[in-house]
Amino acid sequence: MDIGIIYNLADDLLKGGELDRLADGEVLDTAQAVKVALERNGHRVGIHNVCRDGLAVLAQYGALFNLAESTVGSAVTEDAIAEKLEEMGLIFTGAGSVALRKCANKAWTKALLISQDIPTPRYQIVRSEGETVTGLEYPLIVKPVGEDGSIGIDDDSVVWDERGLERKVMQILRMYRQPALVEEFIDGREINAALIGNGEDARVLPLSEIIFPADEGRPRILSFAAEWLAGSYAYLNTGSRCPADLDARSEAAIKAIAIRACRVVGCSDYARVDMRLRGDTPYVLEVNPNPCINPQDSGFIASARVAGFSYAEIVDEILACALARGRAEARQSAPACHGALLPAEVAG
């Protein structure tokens, strides 16, 4: 097939700081890796920055591999791009516009989870400086409500008193120009669940655990430095273990929660759910549609490899899921609505 790979990068910094752009740059490496994988599988492939090339050029492709994100340099959001692709009737990988819109707002996601009795830390949204936070127990963690990739999360994001809370909230409001999400901090094991597929064919890949530095002076969090600042203490001393060392009961509970969380927000084709354990209960921190699939450091790809996939195989599997879903929607004479991950059972 003729496959287009799309991503979204712009030249101007609209919010955040210059270091935040490190999270944007990885998409270029990922796009090239996906291109090589697809070509290895026999496809003809083109790559397009939708900020530069526009969307009209995409009509030539039989399907699109969508790597577009809401980057710090672009006013064009990933859900808006997906919505345009839906209007054009194009098949593309990953979540549709509605699911992307829900997950881009952590408060919206958490409200949906709570509505379905899926555990998630208690929280409050702070929209202005001086706003009072009530009903939550310290320690708390403070993050931008609409960023991913650990953007805006540093060692001082975990706060222990009102003074620290006010300082961090003010920083989020001013630097990221959006409300702050304040939630109770769960200092437990952090587990990532990667999912692949749709309908009864969906399954959870081997679970992965984030391994934090054994340093009592630092909070156990996946900070921006741990993800992006090569050479920093957090980057060098934060790792992962896949498969995670879990008993059968905990593993089953985590997989079941991951499936339900993706179902609630309407993810398609592939996703990742980040959780923390408090006792035997998994609490959902985030649902990530279209998670990073960089071959070098992606948790999703690490889980796929433990499951037996090569990089080219998992890329082709994601594409196959999108094609099958798109054809099923066409047979039903439905618009490109992107269905949820709705497995009949949780597979290991």
CATH number at residue 74: 3.40.50
Residue 178 and residue 204 in one domain: no
Q: Is 39 among the domain residues?
A: yes
Residue 291 and residue 311 in one domain: yes
Residue 263 and residue 179 in one domain: no
Q: Is 311 among the domain residues?
A: yes
Residue 194 and residue 327 in one domain: yes
Q: Is 115 among the domain residues?
A: no
Residue 217 and residue 319 in one domain: yes
Residue 253 and residue 164 in one domain: no
Q: Which two tokens stand for residue 137?
A: 């127990």
Q: Is 347 among the domain residues?
A: no
Q: Please report the sign of the dihedral spanned by the C-alpha atoms of residue 110, residue 285, residue 247, residue 343.
A: positive
Are residues 140 and 184 in contact, defined by beta-carbon separation less than 8 angstroms? yes
Query: Which residue, of 164, 184, 204, is where some domain finishes?
Result: 184
Domain of residue 128, CATH code: 3.30.1490.20
Residue 88 and residue 207 in one domain: no
Q: Is 293 among the domain residues?
A: yes
Domain housing 12: 2-94
pLDDT by residue for the chain (348 residues), tens only, comes to 899 999 987 554 444 454 545 555 678 889 999 999 999 999 999 999 988 888 899 999 999 999 998 654 445 688 999 999 999 999 999 999 999 999 999 999 999 999 999 999 999 999 999 899 999 999 999 999 988 878 888 889 999 999 999 999 999 999 989 999 999 999 999 999 999 999 778 899 999 999 998 877 788 898 888 887 888 888 888 899 999 999 999 999 999 999 999 999 999 999 999 999 999 899 999 999 999 999 988 999 999 999 999 999 999 999 999 999 988 877 775 454 555 554 433 333
Q: Is 344 among the domain residues?
A: no
Domain of residue 311, CATH code: 3.30.470.20
Phi, psi of 278 (to 5 degrees): -120, 105
Residue 154 and residue 43 in one domain: no
Residue 233 and residue 283 in one domain: yes
Query: Which residue, of 138, 164, 184, is where some domain finishes?
Result: 184
pTM (whole model) above 0.85:
yes
Are residues 15 and 72 in contact, defined by beta-carbon separation less than 8 angstroms? yes
Query: Which residue, of 94, 128, 160, is where some domain finishes?
Result: 94
Q: Is 143 helix (H, G, I), strand (E, B) or coil?
A: strand
Residue 169 and residue 90 in one domain: no
What is each CA distance from 163 to 3, 129, 130, 136, in whole angstroms?
A: 52, 12, 11, 15
Q: Is 109 among the domain residues?
A: no
Residue 279 and residue 158 in one domain: no
Residue 75 and residue 149 in one domain: no
DSSP letter at 152? Answer: T
Q: Is 274 helix (H, G, I), strand (E, B) or coil?
A: strand
Q: Is 342 among the domain residues?
A: no
- How many domains is the chain built from? 3
